[in-house]
Amino acid sequence: MDFRYLPSSYDLSAVCQTNNDNFKNLTRSYTQQLHDATTLSASFVMFAITAVFFILNLFSGLSDVSAIIDPKVRVGLSSALSIFLPVMSYLFSEAKNKGGANDPDSKTELPQRARFILIWMLLVELLRKKVEVIHMQGYSGTLERAGRVLWLGSLVFSNLEATGRKAMTGILWVICASKLVQRISFTEFGKHTTDELLKRCKYAVMDEDNGYRLKEDHHDAATVGKIWVLAETDPLASLDRGKRLRRMCLSFSLFKLLRQRFEHLPALTTSEAPSYRQIIFRGLHDKQHDTLTPEVLFDVTNDELNFLCEYYHSVVPVVLASPFFLLANYILLPLVLFILCFVLIVLCSNGDVPFAFSKIYSDNHLTYFGVTQMTRCLPQFFKSPIVFFLIVDFSITFLLFIMFIYEVLWEFFVFLLSDWFVVSLLCKYATNPFLMHRPSISFNQFSVLQFCGVTIPAHIPFKFPILHSISDYLTKLYDRDGNVAPNAPALGNGRSALKAPRYHDLLAFCDCESVAEVILTWHIATSILEVELPPPSGNNNNQVATSLSKYCAYLVAFQPELLPENQDSVERVFKATKLELFQLLGLCGYYFSPCRNTRYRNIKSSGKPEGTPAAEATTVVVKGATLGSILARKAGQDSAEEVWSVLADLWVELIVYIAASSNEESVGAHENVLAKGGEFITVLWAMATHAGMRRPDDTPISGGSNA
């Protein structure tokens, strides 16, 4: 399709088998602009943007009923759209000027191509909310968006003269303006009313002046206790036999408390930390089996983090979810919008209502006519440049309209199916919870005995024995009343697990200031033992030790900011370990050998001889290989099950030690990782924060309690 040799008297009617004058008028501006690459590039730009929005809507909407969009996709598309309006405004001006150069009708009305571009700019502005986070803490981006809306309004009302066209395009602009007002309202209500949701549902009551405080009772608040009693005596009990809804209320209150760590509010006091422990260790206690149910504990914390993630990263106003907001935003607001559009139509016709509605049809008849007429031209789609661009532009406009309608419906259903709405309904004594979206815990695995060249983590299903082991360890730290247990082990990097005299020789492998170095040392040793002396299948200690070992190695390799030490230090340790492995295994062994046994033999051979003091093993790989040999010897002499049990206890203690970090860098890292789906270590961090845990080497938290 070569535009350079298109005759000036190109007769489209001969191609499409029609002599209709309306159709010739519709294509007039295309015929006059086919030689202008600048103007025609608008179609290609919009086609690309439409394709991206279509894919984003399709996969983010159908695959997951969630209010969160992948932050990398969101930021990338938002950055691309930042230059959209200036570029399209320029293309609009070009289409307006060049399309009407030889068209006498254009002196009073926009050419068809320019109208298409104007409609595209309005529809893309409506679709921007897909990639814009609703900030509840300020007015970030609001002024910029207000400027865009005002600029589009000036284009609509200064360039369109025909009553019907001005009214129809003006309706799109009114919808854009209403979405701007909505965003401002969301921000304002988010600052002053979202905290009030706490008072209607939780034990943790918000005080705007003093922050979040735990109170035993509050006559104005619907506390967790009141909801719990209601669920047992009300018809709601028949819908909540598994206590899922009541625990969601608890998760919501804990989320409100956890927010204070991100917003630099006062930390938990000495009297508040035991309150959380009492709720966890006594309130969630399984009376039938007299044990703490780990699945329930982790579900409560995972739901809490889901609330936190949606609060900071949602593109849908789920944070404001309530029956009142449903009525105001999805019923009353459309009615108000309908009235405003009616008023606009009347104003465009100077008060003549019958004339206004008749002009809406007559002035836009040409566009409606073109949609049906295009079907006759489909066989010439790749043969005629006019047909090609006209069909592409009609298709882009149609798809943008469809995506806007889809976005409205998607937002509505995400709102209805959100946990926020369920909590709000519970607080209003509702009895219809619908289905709920709950994200899975990210638990990736990485091993240095696997393929080293391409360090890609593997995601595995979460193993519940890990939850049992961690919950058992927590019950050793605190009793059922939330108090520190009399014989509670000191929270350390694994040393407490080696308290038996026959394991004292292994304490030296924990004597390192770098947590990353300790992790990699014990990870290599655990991996060597797994290859040399695998335990019988079904051994829970083996699952706990190997899974936590590979997860901690994954944190070192891919999430160093989540570890309780300087990120640069962690990265230096990992890079040094990779370099040591490369020197040990060689080019082929490091990059191309997929055999784990080969790596195991080469790595183990780097260890020090039996009886060599651990202090002489100076590098991570040498330490790990030496430790692995010692563990294998102990497993052969004593009991393999006992060695795996010690390893499981060590890894549980080590990961809790990692999670109990209170420095600001770790807090910020946990906030950032929420938008990426959340991590298992963040679940543990939330528990440790509520319980007032801290590592001995941490700066004391104001009012916190030491484990």
Q: At what angle do helices 333-348 and 163-192 cross, to 10 degrees?
A: 150
Q: Which long-range contacts (CB under 8 A, 24 or more apart) does 227-235 make?
A: 227/201, 227/426, 227/427, 230/429, 234/429, 235/431
DSSP 459: E
**In this predicted model, what pLDDT tens digit does every residue of 2-34 receive, in sequence order?**
434 333 334 444 445 444 554 555 556 565 555
Cα distance between residue 683 and residue 634, in whole Å: 34
Per cent of the chain over pLDDT 70 is 66
Question: What's the one-letter identity of residue 131?
Answer: V
Q: Please list the residues that pair with 484 across neighbouring strands.
A: 478
Is the model's pLDDT at 552 over the cut of 90?
A: yes
CA 389 to each of CA 44, 150, 400, 679: distance values in angstroms, whole numbers, following the listed order: 9, 29, 16, 48
Cα distance between residue 42 and residue 116, in whole Å: 10
Q: Tell which residue, 138, 131, 169, has the closest CA to residue 152.
A: 169
Cα distance between residue 591 and residue 578, in whole Å: 11
Stretch 547-556: mean pLDDT, rounded?
94
> Which residues have a Cβ under 8 Å from the Cβ of 369 and sit 6 or more positions away?
22, 23, 26
Is the model's pLDDT at 522 over the cut of 50?
A: yes
**In this predicted model, what pLDDT tens digit does every residue of 60-70 receive, in sequence order?**
655 455 667 76
Cα distance between residue 343 and residue 321, in whole Å: 30
Burial class (CB within 10 angstroms; exposed 0-12, middle 13-18, buried 19+) of 653: buried
Is the model's pLDDT at 135 over the cut of 50?
A: yes
**In this predicted model, what pLDDT tens digit does every residue of 184-225 receive, in sequence order?**
887 766 655 454 443 333 343 233 333 333 343 444 445 565
User: For residue 364, what pLDDT is reported?
Assistant: 62
Contact 311, 321 (CB under 8 A): no
**In this predicted model, what pLDDT tens digit does every residue of 271-329 receive, in sequence order?**
666 766 776 666 666 655 555 677 788 888 888 888 888 888 787 788 888 888 888 88
Cα distance between residue 516 and residue 570, in whole Å: 6
648 or 256, higher pLDDT: 648
In 284-432, at which residue ranges do the beta strands (DSSP E only) sit? 285-286, 291-292
Contact 156, 170 (CB under 8 A): yes
Number of C-alpha atoms within 13 angstroms, CB side, residue 429?
8
Residue extents of the structural domains in the chain: 3-190+322-417, 196-318, 444-658
Is the model's pLDDT at 581 over the cut of 50?
A: yes
Cα distance between residue 674 and residue 676, in whole Å: 5
Stretch 438-460: mean pLDDT, rounded?
68
Q: Tell which residue, 551, 353, 394, has the closest CA to residue 466.
A: 551
DSSP 205: E
> If pLDDT is split at 50, 70 and 90, which confidence band does 131 have?
confident
Q: At what angle do helices 112-127 and 353-377 cross, to 10 degrees?
A: 100
User: For residue 409, what pLDDT is reported?
Assistant: 87
DSSP 484: B
Is the model's pLDDT at 554 over the cut of 90?
A: yes
DSSP 471: H
Cα distance between residue 460 and residue 647, in whole Å: 20
User: For residue 282, what pLDDT is reported?
Assistant: 66
> If pLDDT is split at 50, 70 and 90, which confidence band does 345 have?
confident
Stretch 91-108: mean pLDDT, rounded?
65
User: For residue 219, what pLDDT is reported?
Assistant: 42
365 or 91, higher pLDDT: 91
Per cent of the chain over pLDDT 90 is 15
In the numeric block, the tokens 């044990």 are attached to 291
Is the model's pLDDT at 571 over the cut of 80?
A: yes
Which phi and psi angles does 205 have, rounded to 5°? -95, 135
User: For residue 54, what pLDDT is reported?
Assistant: 81
DSSP strand pairing (458-459 vs 285-286)? unpaired
Q: Which two tokens mark 665?
A: 């860098």
> If pLDDT is split at 50, 70 and 90, which confidence band does 577 have?
very high
Query: Whats the size of the chain, residue-wise?
Result: 707
**In this predicted model, what pLDDT tens digit does every residue of 471-480 receive, in sequence order?**
889 888 887 7
Q: How does the average pLDDT of the chain come out, rounded?
A: 75
> If pLDDT is split at 50, 70 and 90, which confidence band does 354 have?
confident
> If pLDDT is split at 50, 70 and 90, which confidence band does 651 have?
very high
